[in-house]
Copies of this chain bind each other. A is one copy, B any other.
Amino acid sequence: MDTLTLTPIAYYRGPFGSKFGLPRQSALAPDIEGRIVFEEPYRVREALRGLEGFQRIWLIWGFHANRPAKGEWQPTVRPPRLGGNTAMGVWATRSPFRPNPLGLSAVELVRVDGLELIVKGADLMDGTPVYDIKPYVAYADAYPESASGFAAAPPQASLQVLIPQDLPFSETQREALAQALSLDPRPAYQRDSGRTYAMPFDGADVFFTVTEDGVLTVTGYSKL
């Protein structure tokens, strides 16, 4: 029985403390910045040698939130991309609900910062365990013309986002918020204009409303 037990080599630290608002693929919010913090005994400089030559890295990580109970498994899932109404085979999706709950993301390696990695574009929650890091090798990994089924076109930013200047966000936070919110984090089954939504972000709750004609306004925030 070729079982394999993985131990986290690192954890991802980023602004999204929950699934709400988290981009669903790494390409969707390229400006969201995060940090890879290695665990002992993997927190050593030599293990990073040569990494700065690569623009991107692969993260193989664990869906540690919303994980189905061990052994529970459904052969089909209903991707949010298809409105949640169409069942697709689990192997045809990147759904977290899969027999071995591994995630795979190509993220930008912004820089090596001491013994940590600064990355952009990760679709990982804060605190996600990372099991492996590999260099992105264009000749082996990049197939831009590869037919991609129901996921051929990326989901489009659908909302105009307004973040009042008097809210105390940094420039980096504003960019990340604008990207994530423009993708419309509201559940497909619950999109009420007038309603106030709260999204956990960088240790605060960010409140917003959305009008019927697609304008999202950040109305406030509160530290958690």
Binding site for B on A (CB under 8 A): 1-9, 25-28, 41-42, 44, 46-58, 60, 62, 64, 73, 75-76, 87-94, 98-102, 104-106, 129, 131-154
Contact = CB atoms under 8 A, between A and B. Distances in A.
Contacts of A5: 3-6
A122 to B, nearest CB: 12
* Main SS class of interface, A: mixed
Contact of A89 (B28, B46, B104, B136): B46
A94 B134 CA distance: 6
A36 to B, nearest CB: 9
A52 B146 CA distance: 12
Contact of A6 (B4, B105, B154): B4
Given A60-B104, A135-B92, A41 B73 contact: yes
Given A46-B76, A139-B153, A147 B89 contact: no
B53 A76 contact: no
